[in-house]
Amino acid sequence: MSAIFQIAGIGIVIAMIHSVLKQMGKEDMAHWVTLIGFVVVLFMVVRLLNELFQEIKTIFLFQ
């Protein structure tokens, strides 16, 4: 439940950092920050997806 707020918060904070770094003229740094934030969130999503698939496997597919 709190993970949804976490992801939304990460997205907003990353967007803020991105715009700040852009204003400072560090364009490449800004892109790296975005990429790292994206990877972190992707990791969270993939972990939950893995949990879901394991659950489906044990319930429906008898494995």
Partner 1 sequence: MEMIQIVGLGLMATVLILVVREQKPMFAFLLAAFTGIFIFLYLIGKIEIVITVLEDLANRSGIPSIYLKTILKIIGIAYIAEFGAQIVRDAGQEGIASKIEFAGKVFILVMAVPIISVIVETVIGLLPDGS
Q: Compare residues 3 and 24 and give the one whose CB is closer to partner 1.
A: 3
Q: Could you tell me the sign of the dihedral formed by the alpha carbons of 11, 13, 34, 6, in that order?
A: negative
C-alpha 54, offset from chain centre: 21
Q: Could you tell me the sign of the dihedral formed by the alpha carbons of 19, 4, 37, 52, in that order?
A: negative
Q: Compare residues 2 and 25 and give the one whose CB is closer to partner 1.
A: 2
Chain residues in the site for partner 1 (CB under 8 A): 1, 3-5, 7-8, 10-12, 14-15, 18, 34, 37-38, 41-42, 44-45, 48-49, 51-53, 55-57, 59-62
How far apart are CB 25 and partner 1 at their closest, in Å? 20
